[in-house]
Structure 1
Amino acid sequence: MGLFLLWLFFGIGILVQVVYLLFIFGKTAFYSGNKSQSTSPNEEGVTVVICAHNEFSNLKTLIPKIFEQDYPAFDVMVVNDRSSDSTKRLLEKMMENYPKLRSVTVKYTPAHLTAKKYALTLGIKVAKNDIILLTDADCLPQSDQWIRKMTAPVRNHNKTFAVGFSGYEQKPGFLNNWIQFETLLTALYYMSFGLWRRPFMAIGRNLCYRKEFFMEVKAFKGLWHIEGGDDDLFINQYASGRNTTIVIDPEANTISKPKETSKEYLIQKKRHMNAGKYYRSEDKRKIGLYTFSHALFWIGGVGLLIYFGLAESWEHFSVVFGIILLRSILVVRIFKAAERKIQGTKPPKNIWMLDFLYLGYFWILGTISHQAKDIQWK
């Protein structure tokens, strides 16, 4: 009976995994969309909205970089959220040099609201333009075409949402390599299902939508009590195959500073994963089916290798090992192709090993995040 269950786990796991890797994630890895949509003469005004809490050094770098953008009609709104550093003084000085830079200061957050959503709502309310492009203070556009390319679906094709990619700086060390892997896997989820016209999440570090829609639906209604989710839960509620476009273009990306310690990274990921429990049931299944089949595959595969190894049944051992090897090769190729398509950079190292380690990471951290009560923005 035990051997049968191991084969059953292994069989179901490999079947679902192949479907995901080839037909779902492959949609992103082998994407060949038309980039010409960003060249339309329609140059509607755009407001870049940034929420910042004690981000003096990051804003000092980011704001001049944004004003290098090759787009004629945009301004920047920085929401100075309860900062205790020199952010306010910096913004006042920069507004003298950049007439299209504006700022609003949040002195306190009402008790029944969450900080990021409150700050973001204030910034969007006072935005001059209807098209809102979001990023974070610790991000940088990857090119001077960022505004043009990220807003193109909303400006030119009457889309409500344009969902982009935001990666992290590549640095030496295992933690950074893991961050690159996990960020790419997350992108494969939301970009691939988005390309299949089943969008379910986005990253607030690179997201575009219309202010009119945001205000009309009272965007965070029912979400105020949840820390985080100003991006993925908003998209989860209102995005559809008709009103959403996934933007895959290295020139439309932003890049962020990665966490430097495991503690900082785990706090960040706990906040991100905590929001997932509020997704619609069908969207939970999109992630859950892959991760569950991933667990079945490795539990069944490793169990069979141990069983046949102890029994010295080397023919069966070789078959199981060969299947595991073939799947690992497929994972590496899909991830490498997706990395080139999304970022145009080198993929993470040792993808096959990181894929195996993801088994423990997701189930352990996911369980902790699901039960966490101490989630906060800043």
Structure 2
Amino acid sequence: MATLLLGLFILVSLVNFIYFFSFFSFSTSGIKNKLHPEVPVSVIICAKNEEENLRNFLPSIIEQDYPDFEIIVINDASVDNTLETIEEFQKIDPRIKIVDVQNNEAFWGNKKYALTLGIKKAKNTHLLFTDADCAPQSKNWIREMSRNFQPGNSIVLGYGGYFQHKGSLLNKLIRFETLLTAIQYFSYARLGSPYMGVGRNLAYTSTRFYEMKGFANHLHLRSGDDDLFVNEASTSDNTAICFHPDSITRSIPKNSFSDWFHQKRRHASVAGYYKTKHKMLLGSFYLFRILFWILLITILALQIYPQIVLGILGLKLLIEALVYIKAGKKLNETDVVWLFPFFDLFLIFTQLAIFIANLISKPKHWK
């Protein structure tokens, strides 16, 4: 029995090692110098009741150092002064174009419907998406993201992080989870299997959008305008990743655990619509992580070869630390890396709680 438990623990550990070794494909990668085509770009922002955020963050889009871009701001049936705020900015900068979406009975509350209208409004083929509560961290955001529209590339995955709130453990947890997610989707894309992107920082061509018939295959789902589209439209040949420091955007994180938990429930609810291979990869990743800790605790409690088990634990933590440290430096999230053993364990059981909660009831979606 003892030998069987140890053997199972070693097997589970090896699977965990394989996953994190695959993450080195991103964490140890460098930034390649690319000729900049400076293609005309349409920045698209969907705003629903975002009056204050637009006042705070839209200037960071307007001030971008790029020769040819327009800004499509979509007012998605807001009930505050979002539309009036956009109109104020339009008077200052004529590059701003307004799409005013009224409630449609067939598509009520569906962000994908609003985004589709915004894409149709865009005059440029190359589209760059962000959210109303996001701010590029550099005036070169458009330049760095669009630089990746090299021949054959129609999708660019960027990093959308969150603002740092010093002294907040929840803020560090949220940013660590965002870092881990980015490590995964950047690594899988580099390994030829892109599976998701985030709407806070995502680019693709309208040509690819129309080839996929837009969001038609998942229009009935209110979430997934970013990850489900990327999962469906990305291939090993048409997708680039961008993690240059000037390409990063940051947005306002949730300020309560309850709000963040509900947000993660919404995100997790669409994962079941990913391609089968991606569901298997992601499901196995979380399964083998939780199995590792269950077996570790069980074996240590039974005092089965504790030196071997603790040695494997130390090796696992070392490999993960290297991945997180290198990725954290790339994405400017170094302050959250040192708490990774705690956050990693906490997120495993949070993911399990999200899975159970979504089985019991469906989460709410776009505001």
Is this a same-fold pair by TM over 0.5?
yes
What's the counterpart of residue 76 of structure 1? 71
Counterpart among 262, 267, 272 of residue 277 in structure 1: 272
Counterpart among 325, 328, 332 of residue 336 in structure 1: 325
Counterpart among 30, 44, 48 of residue 49 in structure 1: 44
Question: How far apart are 1:358 and its partner, in Å?
Answer: 2.2
- TM-score w.r.t. the length of structure 1 is 0.93
What's the counterpart of residue 245 of structure 2? 250
Segments of 4+ in structure 1 off by > 6 A? Answer: none
Structure 1: segments with no counterpart, 5+ residues: none
Instruction: Tell me, in whole angstroms, the C-alpha distance in 1 between the residues paired with 2:327 and 2:232.
Output: 27
Instruction: Tell me, in whole angstroms, the C-alpha distance in 1 between the residues paired with 2:131 and 2:264.
Output: 16
Question: How far apart are 1:73 and its partner, in Å?
Answer: 0.2
Instruction: Tell me, in whole angstroms, the C-alpha distance in 2 between the residues paired with 1:130 and 1:58.
Output: 27
Question: How far apart are 1:113 and its partner, in Å?
Answer: 6.0
Write the mapping of 1:73-152 to structure 2, written as runs, cut at 5 A.
Answer: 73-112=68-107, 115-152=110-147
Distance 1:108 1:54, change over 3 A: same
Question: How far apart are 1:345 and its partner, in Å?
Answer: 4.4
What's the counterpart of residue 59 of structure 1? 54
1:189, 1:287 within 8 Å by CA — same for their partners in 2? no
How many pairs does the alignment contain? Answer: 366
1:78, 1:102 within 8 Å by CA — same for their partners in 2? yes
2:208, 2:233 within 8 Å by CA — same for their partners in 1? no
What's the counterpart of residue 358 of structure 2? 369
Matching of residue 288 in structure 1 with residue 283 in structure 2: yes
Q: What value does the CA root-mean-square deviation take over the aligned residues?
A: 1.6
| Higher alpha-carbon deviation: 112-121 or 64-73 | 112-121
Counterpart among 196, 202, 219 of residue 207 in structure 1: 202
Distance 1:146 1:199, change over 3 A: same
Instruction: Tell me, in whole angstroms, the C-alpha distance in 2 between the residues paired with 1:78 and 1:175.
Output: 31
Matching of residue 353 in structure 1 with residue 342 in structure 2: yes
2:71, 2:96 within 8 Å by CA — same for their partners in 1? yes
Question: How far apart are 1:62 and its partner, in Å?
Answer: 1.7
Taking only the aligned residue pairs, the percentage that are identical comes to 36
Question: How far apart are 1:111 and its partner, in Å?
Answer: 2.8
Instruction: Tell me, in whole angstroms, the C-alpha distance in 1 between the residues paired with 2:333 and 2:217.
Output: 38
What's the counterpart of residue 174 of structure 1? 169
What's the counterpart of residue 20 of structure 1? 19
Supply the AA of the counterpart residue of 2:27.
A
Question: How far apart are 1:4 and its partner, in Å?
Answer: 4.5
SS class of match (1:197):
coil
SS class of match (1:329):
helix
Supply the AA of the counterpart residue of 2:151.
H
Instruction: Tell me, in whole angstroms, the C-alpha distance in 2 between the residues paired with 1:270 and 1:4.
Output: 39
Distance 1:303 1:345, change over 3 A: closer
2:103, 2:109 within 8 Å by CA — same for their partners in 1? no
What's the counterpart of residue 7 of structure 1? 6
Supply the AA of the counterpart residue of 1:27.
S
Instruction: Tell me, in whole angstroms, the C-alpha distance in 2 between the residues paired with 1:5 and 1:112.
Output: 55
Map Cα deviations across residues 324-355 of structure 1 (whole Å, 9 max, x no partner): 12212221221111111233643344111111
Structure 2: segments with no counterpart, 5+ residues: none
1:44, 1:73 within 8 Å by CA — same for their partners in 2? yes
What's the counterpart of residue 225 of structure 2? 230
Counterpart among 296, 300, 303 of residue 301 in structure 1: 296
1:28, 1:341 within 8 Å by CA — same for their partners in 2? no
Instruction: Tell me, in whole angstroms, the C-alpha distance in 2 between the residues paired with 1:345 and 1:27.
Output: 19
SS class of match (1:83):
coil
